[in-house]
A and B are shown apart, each in its own frame.
Chain A
Amino acid sequence: MSSTDHSPPDASRPYDGVRVLELAEGISGPYAGRWLAALGADVIKVERTSGDPSRAFGPWPNDQPDDETSGLFLYLNGDKRSVTLNLDTSDGREILRDLAQSAEIVIESFPPGYLAERDLDYAALSADNSSLVMISITPFGQTGPNADLPATELTLYAASGQMWLTGHPDRQPLKNGGSQPSYQAGLNAFSAVSSAYFGAIMHGQGSYIDLSVQETYAGMAEAYHTRASQLGIESQRSGNNLHATWGLYELADGYGGVCLLPRNYPPFAQAVGLPELQEDRFADAGQRLSNNDELMAILYGWFIGQTRDDLLELGIANRVPFGFVATFEDLANSEHLRSRDFFADRDDAAAGSLTYPGRLWLSSAHEWKMGAAPKLGQHNVDVIHGELGYEREDLVRLRELDAI
């Protein structure tokens, strides 16, 4: 068996039987919970009685807003169970404490202090469950002068230093599309809880983790921040081209580009085939930087004659880091991604036919679940009556009290 041939021997998943309480809304916490659920965890999504606000974010089929068909919500909440709880009622808080007794992991994204005010913080929830792992995901963390500051994707992009580096040097700083601060925080949160849960298994002791979106995002400022601190040099926005052989160019049918470390230049020059690329003025990295404008002009002329497919093939054939700006249409139809079972292709009862990323990596030990997201409060009866033992009459009373 080579490293490229490995099929899962059985269906058991790494988080089978692990209970996760997801007290998180929007993108970051639910993104982390989504992968735990796909890997077998029983993720109970505890929603406010009006639901996770992301249920009201699009996109929707035909742009028709509908609580059950938000594309963002469906993407982030597959394979979870939904329970509604009003934590401003003592019954709601009591049910949450009951649930926490049986939980291994809690993911929460309330503003700092919110849970402590309700006696639902880590100290309270772990009092009789010392191996509990709990993570708080907030824009700026639990402490410090900005802890209570409201934030958006744009302000977090600015606060992390990422924005200073992005965009054209002669124009204003630019933001990535989508919600990258929240998504990357969710990915960090997944790593945080998985490592902490491993620690809990090994040592029988849980932990409480304070994750700041600003910090996880600032931590990936490449070497730019450490360059500033070691050498005292400020970095500038470099637009689409850090230099001639690191960046984007217009192609015959779109955009693409190349990224070369010095050792990649010889095969690149060979693959492109223009004799001037072999001249002395481009012989090493220093020469190429000194003659950067000339090199860019040559490459601009070459790239504009390439198609996206040609460029990728040339890269594969010559082991040169070429790529093109792929669209979601390209990706959803990609033979390569399809051959790797990357997508969840699901016919959703309410939203119709959907295609979206269904896993993070391929494992020789297990597959990933790619199931539906729950309706609001869909599992109230199963969980509160069936598992916690509240009577059906209690449920009616709780509903009347607006506790669920």
Chain B
Amino acid sequence: MTFDPGRPLSGVRVADLTMIWAGPYAAKILADLGADVIKIESPRAWDNIRTLIPPPVAPGERWWNTNFYFHEYSRNKRSLSLDLASDSGRSVFAQLLPHCDVVIENYRTDVMDNLGLTYEWLREQREDIIVVGMAGFGKTGPEKDAVGYGPIIEMMSGMTSTSGYGDDGVPYKSGISYGDPIAGIAASAAVSTALIHRQRTGQGQYIDLAQREVMSTLLGEFYMDWSMNRRLPEHMGTDHDWMAPHNVYRCAGADDGDDWIAICVRSDAEWAGLKRAMGSPDWAERDDFSDQILRWEHRAELDELVGSWTSEHSKTDIFAALHAERVPSSPVWKMLEMMHEPHLKARGFYEPLRHPEVGIWQVHGWLWRADGAGPCVVAPAPDFGAHNEEILGGLLGLSRTEQDALAAEGVIADRPANTSPASEFPATPSLL
């Protein structure tokens, strides 16, 4: 087999028991990197993300396969429906495990043990199995039974305490559920690291990855300030502790009046560049703004003056002028604009995802790109149970009769049980 530098994990098989976001994001990275990721869902307890938001087209016969949220985290994977809470489901899982290198889950702390899927049991099926548990707070300790989605993880990690406008004492969460993808990236690194370890020693391992702890590692300097000076962070809004100008400024030209550009000046040279871009206004020559320290001390007034310039121009015109002067700046890109942002477009960051019922839309491709890699997105998220036959029959050698028996028992299915569009999601699509 020729080596595909974009897919270093090809040949690795992952039993993906994850749900919602943090776990599926991890498994998505593994799938993008070439692993054969088998997304396993019970017909009775499927990944809620399928039904969290309305389908993009009129709810069709199999509407749970179509929403963008589900596709975002499960492209490039295969789908196996299997009820792990039933004896026969567990028995099939036991037959599948010898073919798997990795089991990954982000259930509540107690769920795997309650299902009888302990590390010990998993190892009995495959001795060098790598198991990754991604519970929010970890598998041990007094808070192990706490549960949380991304913003809870962000709050409990210290992250939220660092963010805020600064004038009202209110801490602010991120606009996304930041804790989730961060945990997912770390879990993907944990899998690769454990694969390296297994290759060198022959041993598998159990990885207890607490989402809160991963998030907390992105805040080292705040822990150090507490250690060294018993000081907690102040909310700085968009200010900086020595740069000025350093802010987002409102621009002209937006239909919604909500266009902004971020501009930062780190040196006298960049200040000179900003002045030229602004057309060398007289006010910029004032003694108050003649060096970095003075500009920082007078930053409130400086922000007003820079803002009055930006308010007369579009963010793309300002960005072009500042780019030419090599001043750090960027429009605050909106979601609809991201798909057309010239730089990302030139790099091919977004790739088309094709689904037979929905059509084509854009999703992000490679998070990082290996030289020589082809396209990242090779398949949409799989329909529920789409690979049952391929995996149960092809890989495990179960006969048609055996598969029919599993289906009759409700252990496998080609559709989730108990779904009804009307009751699953709100009438308005504004949940997100």
Structural contact, A6 and B371, CB atoms closer than 8 A: no
Q: List 20 A-B contacts (CB under 8 A).
A: A39-B193, A59-B221, A71-B227, A148-B326, A149-B328, A156-B330, A168-B172, A187-B185, A187-B218, A189-B368, A195-B33, A203-B3, A229-B363, A240-B172, A247-B173, A257-B173, A284-B423, A326-B157, A331-B223, A357-B216
A303 at interface (Cβ–Cβ under 8 A)? no
Does residue B309 face the partner (Cβ distance < 8 Å to A)? no
Q: Does B329 contact A (CB under 8 A)?
A: yes
User: How far does the Cβ of A201 sit from chain B's closest Cβ, in whole Å?
Assistant: 6
List 14 extra interface pairs beyond A207-B8, A248-B173, A285-B425, CB under 8 A: A71-B220, A72-B221, A145-B342, A162-B174, A220-B181, A221-B335, A222-B72, A226-B362, A228-B338, A255-B170, A284-B426, A328-B219, A329-B232, A361-B190
| Nearest residue, chain A, Cβ from B20 | A261
**How far, in Å, is B107 (CB) from chain A's closest CB?**
11
Nearest first, the 5 closest Cβ-Cβ pairs linking A and B are A177-B162, A199-B8, A165-B175, A71-B224, A75-B220
* Number of residues from B at the complex interface, CB < 8 A: 171
Q: How far is the CA of A354 from the CA of B176 in the complex (A)?
A: 31
Cα of A10 to Cα of B188 in the assembled complex, Å: 24
B56 touches A230 (CB 8 A): yes
Interface pair A316/B343, CB less than 8 Å apart: no
**Docked complex Cα distance between A297 and B301 (Å):** 38
Q: Tell me which of B119, B170, B430 contacts A3 (CB under 8 A).
A: B119
B98 at the interface (CB under 8 A from A): no
Give the most central of B145, B176, B186, B368: most A CB within 10 Å: B368
Q: In the complex, which residues of chain B have a beta carbon less than 8 angstroms from the beta carbon of A160?
A: 333
Nearest CB on A from B192, distance (A) = 4
Q: Given the complex, which residues of A lie within 8 Å of B361, measured CB to CB? A: 226, 229-230
Contacts A164-B332, A201-B199, A259-B148 hold; do A223 and B72 have CB atoms under 8 A apart? yes
Across the interface, do A165 and B346 meet the contact criterion of CB distance under 8 Å? no
CB < 8 Å: which of B29, B131, B347 contacts A215? B347
Whether the Cβ atoms of A261 and B48 lie closer than 8 Å is yes
The answer for the CA separation of A232 and B335 in the assembled complex, in Å, is: 9
Give the complex CA separation of A223 and B335 in angstroms.
Answer: 10
0/1 interface trace, chain B 330-369, chain A, CB 8 Å (1 if under): 1111111011011110110110000000100111101111
**A76 x B220 contact (CB < 8 A):** yes
B133 within 8 A of A: yes
Cβ–Cβ contact B5 & A199, under 8 A? yes
Q: How far is the CA of A248 from the CA of B174 in the complex (A)?
A: 11
Closest to A13 in B: B197
Query: Which listed residue, B226, B261, B344, touches A329 by the CB 8 Å rule?
Result: B226
How far, in Å, is A318 (CB) from chain B's closest CB? 9
Contact B131 A324 (CB under 8 A): no
A231 lies within 8 A of chain B by Cβ: yes
Q: Are A163 and B148 in contact (CB under 8 A)?
A: no
Question: A323 to B119, Cβ gap below 8 A?
Answer: no
Binary contact track B210-237/A, C-beta < 8 Å → 1, others 0: 1001101111111111111111110111
B371 touches A208 (CB 8 A): yes
Do B206 and A363 have beta carbons less than 8 Å apart? yes
> A208 to B263, alpha carbons, bound, how many Å?
32
> Are A257's CB and B152's CB within 8 A?
yes
Cβ–Cβ < 8 Å partners of B240 in chain A: 152, 154
How far is A321 from B211 in the complex, measured between Cα atoms in Å?
A: 14
Residue pair A214, B224 in contact (C-beta under 8 Å): no
Contact B227 A187 (CB under 8 A): no
Among candidates A176, A263, A351, residue contacting B159 with C-beta atoms closer than 8 Å? A176
Mask, A214-239, CB within 8 Å of B = 1, is 11101111111111111111110111
The contact string, 1 if C-beta is below 8 Å from chain B, for chain A 121-165, is 010000000000001000011011111111110111111111111
Pick from B155, B160, B222, B238: contact of A175, CB under 8 Å: B238
* B interface footprint on A316-357 (CB within 8 Å = 1, 0 otherwise): 100111111111111110011101101000000001111111
| A340–B144 alpha-carbon span in the complex (Å) | 10
A171 touches B165 (CB 8 A): yes
- B371 & A173 in contact (Cβ 8 Å cutoff): no
Check: B415 CB closer than 8 A to any chain A CB. no
CB–CB A321/B152 < 8 A: yes
Asked if A300 CB lies within 8 Å of chain B CBs, one says no
In the assembled complex, how far is the CB of residue A252 from the closest CB belonging to chain B, in whole angstroms? 15
Q: How far is the CB of A223 from chain B (nearest CB, A)?
A: 4
Residues in chain A near residue B243, CB distance under 8 A: 152
Q: Answer whether residue A362 sits at the interface, using C-beta atoms and an 8 A cutoff.
A: yes
A226 adjacent to B338 (CB under 8 Å): no
Known: A195-B9, A248-B173, A357-B220. A178 touches B335 (CB 8 A): no
- Known contacts A183-B218, A230-B56: does B146 contact A354 (CB below 8 Å)? no
Is there an interface contact between A207 and B371, defined as CB atoms closer than 8 Å? yes
A243 within 8 A of B: yes
Q: Which of B392-430 contact A (CB under 8 A)?
A: 423-430
Per-residue 0/1 for B121-149: is the Cβ within 8 Å of any A Cβ (1 yes, 0 no)? Answer: 00000000001010001111111111111
- Does the CB pair A210–B146 fall under 8 Å? no
Q: Which residue of A lies closest to B355 (CB)?
A: A230
* Known A-B contacts A210-B368, A228-B335; A60 and B228 likewise in contact (beta carbons under 8 Å): yes
Instruction: Provide the bound-state CA to CA distance between A332 and B432, in Å.
Output: 34
Q: Are A289 and B428 in contact (CB under 8 A)?
A: yes
Closest A residue to B236 by CB, please name it: A177
Which of A156, A180, A218, A327 contacts B338, CB < 8 Å? A218
Residues A166 and B175 in contact in the complex (CB < 8 Å), given A145-B343, A156-B330, A202-B11: yes
